[in-house]
């Protein structure tokens, strides 16, 4: 039972009666009362009446007696609501008895396709792919938990002209040696060596071009070599996914190559629809609303002058397939902000072509860059792009050292488990806790700090509650939850209760906005509010109903932290 919504539902008809039409009651948590509505202020302008008068009239009509201990007009025309203890207790009891902590499954599940991670074959994954993987994974978890049908689409860069040179380089190295280099993740040196030969050697260039043609025409040996390159890279990426503890599997690879047979038909369809324009021999679509800095319309090139298809054509084919064949109605593209224009244009063309029918919509879930301490793009000490696998190893190593220092009582297996959960959790949380549109600075000390808005802080709060329960001699909660009275006498107890009740609305909001920093921020508030409660309100030293009630709040806090972190893809060790 969502109190905020309950209160809003009671104010809605009262506002409608006063305004003579629907008004959003704008009920929110407030520092001045449990909840506050400022809707009368906005309405006053519209009705030309004093806001306090409107607020008073709304309160006169709204039925709030069972929910509120006090409801009054304050300041220029706010409505301040103080929730009655009984209603608050009932709401908390509802949460305790609900395995979903107040977050219902959606009534009408959608098919949601999430395009994320998407590294490129025979190239190192960079931090942009890291962000995409982390944000995409959280998206898949949260939408899946809400009950949507989630399709994970790892739009691997596994096709295109570079494969001519990559295959030729593989042949030069010898299949066995080349494949071995790729398997250990030496992707960048492989790619760079191929590139260097391509730039320097006319003969190699010619061979590479022929090889692309052979690949496109399905030459058996060439296709086998291409598969080898793709397979080895996939193996390497899967290793990173495992280290990163994300839900992507080999079944989710849906690389660009899959859309090759659809490219011709897609361009033909655009032509039939009268959307194609010729520009210097290239087939283009000029999506409405796309103009460059100079005010000239910008084209999306769907077939190049040489007859080849590129990135935009592949994305159009993929989109058409995703709505048309897979039946997705919400398409999420978790890709860095530099590709914003590309997606705007692809989505606009798809809309004009009728590939986003009915409720179907596509959304670019963009994100900023990861910066080093110097404020520039994150690089390794040697100045090369950081290798993702190394970065994750370092995270785990640092967190393992931290775990050992912090709790010498942990045995070797526990230290390893905590190190992994905390190290990987810290990297993910640092990413998810900042507004994804912004760049963020990758800072080991900050992300591994035990206080602040960090994974270790939240994980520690969880472990602390679990240890409390071990000491209490109860593994779970008192058996008859209905009989436990929710303690509300202390303001710290009330504050904790509101934080716990706030979990559900945040999850529902993030399902829409995919702004995971809202969820992270809320979990941090839950942990901080718990900490304040725990300092003021003794739990194990309390007695009788108070002890039981407080233990219940502790248990609920642990469940909210665990569930919330799980939605972010972060583990919660039982001890730390
Ligand atoms: N492989 C691309 C890159 O590394 C990202 C692909 C994103 N997804 C898409 N449907 N275009 O930049």
Mean pLDDT for each consecutive 10-residue tract of the chain (576 residues)?
A: 88 95 93 94 93 96 94 96 94 93 96 97 89 98 98 96 94 87 78 93 95 94 95 93 96 97 96 95 91 87 92 97 98 97 96 97 97 81 76 95 93 96 98 96 94 96 95 63 82 96 96 98 98 96 92 96 98 96
- Of 115, 230, 339, the one to substitute when testing ligand 1's pocket (max ligand atoms within 8 A of C-beta) is 339
What's the pLDDT at 328?
Answer: 98
CA distances from 433 to 231, 442, 565, 568 (A): 34, 12, 11, 10
- Per the DSSP assignment, residues forming a β-bridge with 29 are 35
Q: With a 6 A CB cut-off, is 118 part of the ligand 1 pocket?
A: yes
> What three-state secondary structure class fits 246?
coil
CA distances from 215 to 209, 228, 333 (A): 10, 13, 28
The C-alpha atoms of residue 4 and residue 34 are separated, in whole angstroms, by 10
Q: With a 6 A CB cut-off, is 315 part of the ligand 1 pocket?
A: yes
Both tokens of 344, joined, read: 């705007």
Q: What's the CA angle centered on 430, arms 427 and 436, to 5 degrees?
A: 120
Distance of CA 459 to the CA centre of its chain: 19
Q: With a 6 A CB cut-off, is 333 part of the ligand 1 pocket?
A: yes
What's the pLDDT at 148?
Answer: 98
What's the pLDDT at 35?
Answer: 95
> What three-state secondary structure class fits 343?
helix
- Of 113, 117, 118, the one to substitute when testing ligand 1's pocket (max ligand atoms within 8 A of C-beta) is 118
Whether 335 contacts 277, CB under 8 Å: no
The C-alpha atoms of residue 549 and residue 546 are separated, in whole angstroms, by 5
59: left (phi over 0), alpha (psi -120 to 50) or beta: alpha
- Per-residue three-class SS string for 479-496: CCHHHCCCCCCCHHHHHH
The C-alpha atoms of residue 79 and residue 41 are separated, in whole angstroms, by 10
How far does the centroid of ligand 1 lie from the alpha carbon of residue 155, in Å?
Answer: 6
Whether 343 contacts 314, CB under 8 Å: no
Q: With a 6 A CB cut-off, is 155 part of the ligand 1 pocket?
A: yes
pTM recorded for the entire structure: 0.94
What's the pLDDT at 181?
Answer: 80
What's the pLDDT at 1?
Answer: 63
What's the pLDDT at 370?
Answer: 93
Instruction: Specify the DSSP element, H or E, that contains 361.
Output: strand 361-365
The C-alpha atoms of residue 170 and residue 179 are separated, in whole angstroms, by 8
What sign for the dihedral angle of Cα 103, 106, 109, 110? negative
The C-alpha atoms of residue 553 and residue 543 are separated, in whole angstroms, by 15
How far does the centroid of ligand 1 lie from the alpha carbon of residue 507, in Å?
Answer: 27
Whether 56 contacts 80, CB under 8 Å: no
How far does the centroid of ligand 1 lie from the alpha carbon of residue 128, in Å?
Answer: 10
Whether 507 contacts 98, CB under 8 Å: no
Q: Helices 3-19 and 51-61: crossing angle, nearest 10°?
A: 110
């Amino acid at each position: 039972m969502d109190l905020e919504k309950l209160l809003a539902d009671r104010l809605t008809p009262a506002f409608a009666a006063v305004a003579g039409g629907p008004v959003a009651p704008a009920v929110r948590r407030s520092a001045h009362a449990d909840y506050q509505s400022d809707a009368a202020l906005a309405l006053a302008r519209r009705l030309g009446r004093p806001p306090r008068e409107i607020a008073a009239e709304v309160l006169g009509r709204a039925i709030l007696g069972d929910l509120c201990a006090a409801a009054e007009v304050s300041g220029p025309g706010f409505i301040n609501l103080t929730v009655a203890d009984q209603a608050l207790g009932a709401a908390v009891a509802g949460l305790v008895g609900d395995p979903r902590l107040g977050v219902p499954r959606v009534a009408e599940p959608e098919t949601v396709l999430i395009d994320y991670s998407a590294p490129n074959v025979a190239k190192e994954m960079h931090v942009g792919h890291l962000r995409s993987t982390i944000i995409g994974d959280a998206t898949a978890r949260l939408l899946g938990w809400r009950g949507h049908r989630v399709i994970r689409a790892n739009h691997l860069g596994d096709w295109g002209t570079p494969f001519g040179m990559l295959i030729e380089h593989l042949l030069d190295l010898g299949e066995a040696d080349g494949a071995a280099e790729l398997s250990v993740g030496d992707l960048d040196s492989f790619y760079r060596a191929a590139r260097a030969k391509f730039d320097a050697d006319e003969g190699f260039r010619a061979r590479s071009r022929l090889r692309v043609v052979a690949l496109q025409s399905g030459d058996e040996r060439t296709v086998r070599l291409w598969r080898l390159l793709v397979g080895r890279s996939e193996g390497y990426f899967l290793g990173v996914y495992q280290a990163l503890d994300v839900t992507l599997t080999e079944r989710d690879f849906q690389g660009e190559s899959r859309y090759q047979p659809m490219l011709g038909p897609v361009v033909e369809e655009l032509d039939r629809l009268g959307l194609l324009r010729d520009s210097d021999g290239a087939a283009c679509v000029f999506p409405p609303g796309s103009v460059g800095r100079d005010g000239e319309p910008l084209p999306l090139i769907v077939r190049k002058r040489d007859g080849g298809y590129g990135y935009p054509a592949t994305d159009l084919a993929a989109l058409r397939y995703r709505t048309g064949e897979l039946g997705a109605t919400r398409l999420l593209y978790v890709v860095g902000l530099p590709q914003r224009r590309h997606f705007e244009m692809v989505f606009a063309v798809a809309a004009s072509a009728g590939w986003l029918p009915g409720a179907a919509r596509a959304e670019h879930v963009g994100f900023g860059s990861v910066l080093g301490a110097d404020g520039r793009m994150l690089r390794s000490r040697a100045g090369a792009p950081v290798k993702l696998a190394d970065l994750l190893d370092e995270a785990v190593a640092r967190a393992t050292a931290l775990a050992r220092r912090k709790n010498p009582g942990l045995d070797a297996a526990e230290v390893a488990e905590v190190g992994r959960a905390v190290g990987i959790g810290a990297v993910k949380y640092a990413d998810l806790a900042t507004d994804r549109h912004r760049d963020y600075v990758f800072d080991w000390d900050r992300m591994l700090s035990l206080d602040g808005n960090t994974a270790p802080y939240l994980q520690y709060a969880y472990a602390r509650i679990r240890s409390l329960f071990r000491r209490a001699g109860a593994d779970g909660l008192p058996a008859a939850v209905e009989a436990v009275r929710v303690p509300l006498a202390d303001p710290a107890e009330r504050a904790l209760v509101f934080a716990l009740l706030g979990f559900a609305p945040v999850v529902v909001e993030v399902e829409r906005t995919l702004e995971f920093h809202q969820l992270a921020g809320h979990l941090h508030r839950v942990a901080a509010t718990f900490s304040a409660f725990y300092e003021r309100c003794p739990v194990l030293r309390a007695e009788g109903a108070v002890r039981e009630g407080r233990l219940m709040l502790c248990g609920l806090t642990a469940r909210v932290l665990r569930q919330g972190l799980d939605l972010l893809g972060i583990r919660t060790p039982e001890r730390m």
